[in-house]
Every structure is written in C-alpha cells, then in structure tokens.
Structure 1
Amino acid sequence: MSLFSRIFNRQPDPKEEIRPLWHRLVGLARDPAWYAECGVADTLEGRFDILSTMVALAMLRFEQDPATIPSSARLTELFVEDMEGQLREAGIGDPTVGKKVGNLVSALGGRTGALRESLAEGDAALAAAMERNVTFIEGGSPECVARKVKNLAVVMTGMPYEHLLDAELQL
C-alpha cells in the first residue's frame, strides 16, 4: 500500500489482523527454553532459525483452512518488514537489503516445506529436520526442539482460527 493510500484510505491495513499473532510468534521464539534447554545457539542465526520455524508452523496451520490463506501472505509481509528492519538496524545498506531479505524469505519457504514433510513423517524425521535447519551449540538437542515444535504444531492444529489470531499460544 502506498504512502498516499495509507494517508487517505480509511480502510484498516489487513496486516493489523495478524499483528497480535506475529508478536506472539516473536515472543515464543525468544523463549529462553530454546536456548537453555535445547541448546539452540543464542546468536542471530539461531534466533532466526527459531523465529522462522514459529512462522512456518503458523503458515502450515493456515494451509489447513483455505479461507485463512490470505493470513499466510500477511504473516509473510510482517516477516519481511521485520527482517528488513533488523538488517537495516544492523547496518546493512540499501544495495544488499533486498537480496538478503529474499534469502531469508527463501529460508522461510524451505523451512515450511521441511516442517510440512517431517511433521507428517514422525518424530525421527522432525528431529532430523531440526538438525538440518536450526543452529545449535555443541551438545544441542534437535530432539528437544522437535518435541517443542511438535507440541506447538498440535496446539495450532487444534486451535480455532480466531484463537490463533488472538495469539492464544503457549509452548
């Protein structure tokens, strides 16, 4: 939406409906348990890995109900906005921000596909997917991350769409 449209259009931004969920997903990704209990690396890469996993789980939940597919696009828009802001804050300049954001969105797509497949295949496949897609410290536990991801996927799957939008999620 252009600046002109935002100023003069009285329609609410459709992303606002999904913003509480976005903030909740960011909060879940910051939960110290990922880092302290499971051994996810407490680095930019490790934090991105968990955040993109949380977003991917929400996107998979949206796939269950075709009426909620627009929410997936809006969630992706918020993801892009946040990643672009984070890169700029880190001092990444304009010439490379677009390419880096594109790479991050591609990683999100890959993570979504890996989760879709591994959740359907079972616990061992999910742990293997976490090992490939999450940055761990030495001795980190892909099985621990897989357990938490599976639990959250089960919660999201059983949750009515409206409750998901209201960000009523717990690890």
Structure 2
Amino acid sequence: MKFLKTLFGFGPDPREDLVPLYIAIVHIAREPAWYAELGVPDTLDGRFDMVAAILSLVQVRIEAEGAPGRSAGTYLTEVFIDDMEGQVRQIGIGDVLVGKHLGKMVAAMGGRLTAYREAIADPAALEAALVRNIWRGEPGPDARPAVVAERLRAISARLGTTAWGDVLAGRIG
C-alpha cells in the first residue's frame, strides 16, 4: 500500500525533510553583515551568490558523509531549485522563460559548487573565486573578499564538526 501511495504521489515528499536545512542556509546567507559590512552587493545576484556559497559549503559537508549523504544532497538541490523557481516567478518571469532562467541558475550553482569545493582549503584561491563570482571580477571599494573568504572557511570548519543529524535538521548556524 505504501508503494502505491508513493507511486501515485500520496506518499511523503523526502525533500520536506531538507527544508529546515535550506531555511538555515538562506538565513545565514541573508545575514546583514555580508552586505552592510563586507560589501557583498545587496542585489538579486549578490543574494543568489551568498545562498550559492553557503549551499556549496553544506553540499561539501553532505558529500563528506558518503553514501548517507547522496540522497540528502540531491533533495537539497531540488529544494534550492524549487525556491529559485518561486523567486523568478515572483519577480515576474513568465512561464515561457522560467526554464531558461532556472537552467542558468542551476548551471551557475554547479559552477560555484565546483569552484568553492576546490578552493575552500586555500584562502587565496577561495578569495579569487569569491571575487570572480560575487563581485564579477570587480570588487568595489567597500568589498572585503578576504574577510568573506575567512568567514566562509569558518562556516566550513564548523560544518565539518557538526553532527550529521544536526546538519540534516538545519542546526548549522
């Protein structure tokens, strides 16, 4: 019976278990200090880039969990995509263009995940990746990419010592 409920869409959605984690990611990414003190642009792109940065760190932590993390990583990505779809619709992107915008956002997220995964252990490489992604290669006078990199490395270190159950529950702050 459970199989039939799941088959026909009546079963629980496993992505729902990852919503608290995603909310925690967005909460960290929207902390005012990133924007007011560290010069991250408080724009749609800047906010996307901070969500992508924090989400990337969490995905790296999930990957470190091995097999138990595989489905969690997939479901978390799906929650991210669902949120981004809602965001592009909210800003007025019509049905015809939603898929195109989502495709670009998912590709951007994938690129950032790769860049941050490779750079997290090297402060200079992480700073360069942040300048390239957050500031599009041109940090303004208020930008503090070295401090952003330092704070992201601290978040990554905390994630590395956070129990798996706490990560899944969104207790990452």
What are the Cα deviations for residues 27-57 of structure 1, in whole angstroms up to 9, with x where unaligned? 1111001001110001111000001111111
- Partner residue, 1:57: 57
- Partner residue, 2:96: 95
- Partner residue, 2:73: 72
- Partner residue, 2:4: none
User: How many residues were matched structurally?
Assistant: 163
CA RMSD, 1 decimal: 1.3
The amino acid across from 1:45 in the alignment is: D
The amino acid across from 2:24 in the alignment is: R
Instruction: Give the Cα separation in 1 of the matches to 2:127 and 2:114.
Output: 15
Gaps (5+ residues) in structure 2? 1-6
The amino acid across from 1:143 in the alignment is: A
Q: TM-score, normalised by structure 1?
A: 0.91
**Structure 1 residue 46 corresponds to structure 2 residue 46:** yes
Instruction: Give the Cα separation in 2 of the matches to 1:102 and 1:150.
Output: 28
- Partner residue, 2:160: 157
Is the Cα contact below 8 Å between 1:56 and 1:115 reproduced in 2?
yes
Alignment of 1:1-171 (within 5 A): 5-6=8-9, 9=10, 11-66=11-66, 67-120=68-121, 122-135=122-135, 136-170=139-173
Instruction: Give the Cα separation in 2 of the matches to 1:132 and 1:161.
Output: 31
Instruction: Give the Cα separation in 1 of the matches to 2:62 and 2:92.
Output: 34
> For 2:34, what is the secondary structure of its paired residue?
helix
The amino acid across from 1:16 in the alignment is: E
Identity of aligned residues (%): 40
Is the Cα contact below 8 Å between 1:39 and 1:141 reproduced in 2?
yes
Gaps (5+ residues) in structure 1? none
Instruction: Give the Cα separation in 1 of the matches to 2:129 and 2:61.
Output: 18
Instruction: Give the Cα separation in 2 of the matches to 1:50 and 1:28.
Output: 9
Q: TM-score, normalised by structure 2?
A: 0.90
> For 1:63, what is the secondary structure of its paired residue?
helix
Is the Cα contact below 8 Å between 1:41 and 1:137 reproduced in 2?
no
What are the Cα deviations for residues 123-171 of structure 1, in whole angstroms up to 9, with x where unaligned? 111111111111354330111110111011001111111011122122x
